[in-house]
Structure formats: C-alpha cells, structure tokens
Amino acid sequence: MLHTARLEIQDISKSFEGAKVLDAVDLQIGPGQVLGLIGENGAGKSTLLNILTGIVQPDRGTLLLDANPFNPTSYAEAARQGVSRVFQEQALIPTLRVYENLFLSHEARFSRFRQIMRQREMIDLAQGIVDNAGLGIDVRKPTSVYSFSKRQLLEIVRACLVPVDLLGIAHPIILLDEPTASLDKADEQIFFRLLERLRAQASFVFVSHRLSEVLELSDAIVVLKDGRVVKRLEAGEADERLLHSLMVGREQRSDYYHEAEQQGSQRPVVLEARELCGDGFSDVGLAVHEGEVLGIGGLLNSGKSELGKGLMGITPTRSGHVRMHGGDWLQPEISASLAAGCGYIPAERLVEGIVADFPVTWNMSMAGDDRFCSSLGIWKTKEEKNVAERMIAELKIRSAAPLLACRKLSGGNQQKVVLARWLCRDVRLLVLDNPTRGVDAGAKEEIYATIRQLTASGVAVILITDELLELIGMSDRIGIMQQGRLTTIVDAAPQSKPTEVEMIGLMLPGEQDLSERRAA
C-alpha cells in the first residue's frame, strides 16, 4: 500500500439487484498521479466513480481521503471535500448561461442575504477560469450556442478548475470519465495542456477506452474485469495489446475491422440524395448501395452529423430530395424513412437514443414496429420480452434483463440496446452517428462484427464517425465533409485504404484531392 496515497479504496463491493458489480476492489491514488482505469463496458468503472462521488453507497469497504474516513453521501458533499468529476454523459444544462453552469450548486457563495446574486462577480470569475484554460468563449452566452466539443471542454474545466479557483481546494482529486470522447483535435490539445499543468497540485483517475491515450497520460494503469482488479501496471510495463487482452480475456484480432468481409459498392442503390440542403449542410449528392458501408468523415463542425439527420428527415431540409430503391424523389421525412426500412442511431444516446428510466424491452420496441401489436390493438408483451432476451444474448448486453431500466446499464451496453432496436426490425438502411462513442475495445469489435453481418445480408450502412481508424477500417467508400459540403468521395477497398494523414488532409479546407496527394 502507498503510505502517501491521497485516496485509498479498500475492499469496496457493490451489488445491484443481486448482480455483483464491484467485488473487493482495492486502489490507491497518489499525489500528483494520473491513474488510468480501464475495463470493458460493465466492468464496474462508472459504479466505482459513483461511489467516490457519493452518488452510490458501497455495500462493503472503506474509503480514506488523506488517511481520514471519506464517506460522501452526495456529489455536492464529495465536491466540498475536493473530489470532482467529469461524467461520461454531459451534465450541463444547455439553456443556462456558461457561468451559471460552471457554478451550478455553488450559487450560495455569490448570494447576499440569500436573495441577491452578485452576478457580476460570478461572470468575472467564470470568464477568468475559462480564459485561464484557453477556451476563448464568452461565459455570458447560453451553453447551447457552443459545439458539443466545447461543452465537453466546459465540463472538464468545471471539474478541474472550479474546485481550486472557487472552493479553494489546494489539492483536488479529479475523476475523468471518458473526457476526450467528444473532443475535437484542437480541444483535445487544450485538455492535455490543462492536465499537464494541474499534475503538480491535483490527482487524477482517467477512464478511457482509447488505450493509446491511457498509455500516454497515465503514471499507472489499473484493469477492471467483472468488478475485480485483475492487474495494476506501471505505464511503461504495458502496451495496447496487453491491455486489450487483460480487459477482454483474449488477444485483439489482427483484422479488427473485419475488412475481409467488405461487400463493396457494386450492388443496387438503396438510398440516393441530390442537391440536399439543410441546417449545417448544402448541395449534397450521394448514393449508398446494398451491403455497403459509406463512411462520412470531417472535422467536428463539418456538418456530417447534421447531414445524417437530414437524410432521414429527422430535421427538416430546405431543398433537395432523396429516394429509396429507385422510387420517387421525395423530400426526406422521418415517417417515410421508417416505413422504407431506415434506422438511425444518434451520437448522444442519453439525449436522443434511449429513455433511461424505461426498461430494456421498451427501448428496443419503441421504434413503432407493428410486429408487437395485434390487429385488435393488444400489445404482445410476451413476444416483446422474447425478442429482448434474444437481442441481449446476441449482442452480449452485459448485466441486462428485459425489464431492467436502461439507466442501470453501462454506457456501452446502452448503446447496444439502441442498436438492437433496429436489428429486431426489417431494416434495409442504417445511419450510424458515432456508434462506438464511449464503448470499450471488446464491445467495439462486437459492434463492427454486427455491422459486417448486416451488410452481408444486404443492409446499407452510412457510418458517420469522428474516429479516423474506424472510418478507414469500416468503410467501402468515404465521403468527406468540409464546411457543410460533401467535397470528395474516396475509395476505401481493403487493398487501397487511405491513411490517417491523407484523411486529415482532405478534411482541412483548401487541401488537394487525394489522387493529387498520392501522386505528389
């Protein structure tokens, strides 16, 4: 045991409804240390962080903060004692101004006579905090005006700097749960610089499924599997292959993206779009074929996510048309898309993908499929449950039961529930927006295998993703978005995959065509 440990976790165990999530976990976090914490979805990482921040109480075990008993019963109590957190899903309130979100729950520190708020003081301090972090944003504006990446960076700043600058905590402990999953490259660099700067005074627990980041940033790495610590390693002792095998119990396959199973784009067209314009994109024309994965890449504000919603009619388009299977050209409309066998998986699963308090069965069947409703209008509850059980088994949704509320599942397993919603329908086209965000390496491989099974059966897939390796490895062709326009489509057959450098070059405004880059 480290006698200089800031935070000690001794014999912590926790069960939910008879299922053991944490089993006799021991951890120590030293001063100025970045402790990497990795494991598959459902391994117990988020539950452990919930215990450390007072959201969940352990069944057994002891927590010590600076060798003193530490038993927070709420997040606010943990924060007052110097333990703060970046949550896996964003916890900002979009309609509040930035400064109000930064100081949420700390308003009493700015009140006079418990009635009058010293608003100017709040604004000045908040602006100083974000300027100090290098964000370059106006804290007086509503949080919703900023990009998803900037909002994620605000979450990080709130957890890292508010304890020091507002609460006066000299040596905070900061829990980072997938902090980089939603950051663009520029905001990633701001986060890395902030982390490096705070190492001298803070301790960190860094949870990430990006193993390269864990290796780069961590001083030590702890691997959780099935709620138990299976290994603690110094960063220099590990590589990605070893960490993957410790997490999932097997070596990562060399054909991680199942490239040998690519179907190509020689089969009939499923969906076409011409001159499609909407909020965030304009004059887009494309076609996706049976059994093809058409990747859509671009910088964070390139319009690729907006295009996915526009193609399905989730958000209205201003002009242009789409058609399915060579039919009539029509304006995209969500009910028509569903009727034509289209499915959509959003990037923000808790906001748009699931109803967290609904059970697994309801979340899987809520796409409006008549298969669960009889001609007399009676809901087929037994069939709904049977389908849910089959999907749970096929997709290996850990710790799930048909009637379990989705909020009790890990983020990666919630994502599998969203995917299952479409797998139990007669789907012919799937639009996937960052389908593996916040998903561990083993579960990613399972999702990739599922996508390949779908394409083998003739399903067309439009894959929108921020992950370059995923974009390159999974796609048959790759469309590049720049400032709302589809500027080029690149071949990505197994034998002619573009490189990451080539992809980044194509995403940057003013860069040359890929064929020109390769010729040069």
Mean pLDDT of all residues in the chain?
88
The sheet carrying 19-29 orders its strands as: 19-29, 7-16, 60-65, 68-69
- The Cα–Cα gap between 491 and 504 comes to 15
| Contact status, residue 258 vs residue 494, Cβ threshold 8 Å | no
Q: Phi/psi of residue 317, each to 5°? A: -100, 155
- The Cα–Cα gap between 86 and 215 comes to 20
Superfamily of domain 1-56+179-252: P-loop containing nucleotide triphosphate hydrolases (3.40.50.300)
Token duo for residue 318: 């201003």
pLDDT given at position 443: 78
| Contact status, residue 137 vs residue 144, Cβ threshold 8 Å | no
The structure's pTM equals 0.67
Torsion of CA 439, 442, 443, 449, to 10 degrees: 130
pLDDT given at position 303: 92
Residue 109: count other Cβ atoms within 10 Å of its Cβ: 13
pLDDT given at position 321: 96
Residue 274's contacts (CB-CB under 8 Å, 6 or more residues apart) are 285, 320, 321, 322, 329
pLDDT given at position 20: 83
pLDDT given at position 369: 63
β pairing state of 116-117 and 7-16: unpaired
Residue 457's contacts (CB-CB under 8 Å, 6 or more residues apart) are 291
pLDDT digits (tens, 9 = 90+) for 325-372: 999 999 999 999 988 999 999 988 877 888 989 999 999 988 766 778
pLDDT given at position 262: 85
pLDDT given at position 253: 57
pLDDT given at position 54: 94
Query: Which residues make up the CATH 3.40.50.300 domain(s) of the chain?
Result: 1-56+179-252, 259-341+426-519
- The Cα–Cα gap between 426 and 421 comes to 11
Angle at 347 between CA 341 and CA 353, to 5 degrees: 60
CB < 8 Å & 24+ apart, contacts of 212-218: 212/240, 213/180, 214/36, 214/38, 214/243, 215/36, 215/239, 215/240, 215/243, 217/34, 217/36, 217/192, 218/34, 218/35, 218/36
pLDDT digits (tens, 9 = 90+) for 156-214: 999 999 998 988 898 999 999 988 877 888 888 999 999 999 988 899 999 988 888 89
Summarize the chain as % helix, strand, coil (round to 5). Answer: 35, 25, 35
Largest CA distance in the chain: 72
Q: Is 232 exposed, middle or buried (0-12, 13-18, 19+ CB in 10 A)?
A: middle
Residue 191's contacts (CB-CB under 8 Å, 6 or more residues apart) are 153, 156, 179, 180, 183
User: Mean pLDDT for each consecutive 10-residue tract of the chain (520 residues)?
Assistant: 76 84 92 91 87 94 94 91 88 92 89 81 94 92 90 92 90 92 84 90 90 91 91 87 78 70 84 95 95 91 92 94 93 91 88 88 81 80 90 85 86 87 90 86 84 93 92 94 93 90 83 44
Quick check: helix, strand or coil at residue 11?
Answer: strand
| Contact status, residue 101 vs residue 143, Cβ threshold 8 Å | yes
Residue 151: count other Cβ atoms within 10 Å of its Cβ: 18
**Could you say which of 3.40.50.300, 3.10.580.10, 3.40.50.10480, 3.40.710.10 is the CATH number of the domain covering 259-341+426-519?**
3.40.50.300
- The Cα–Cα gap between 496 and 492 comes to 6
- The Cα–Cα gap between 479 and 402 comes to 38
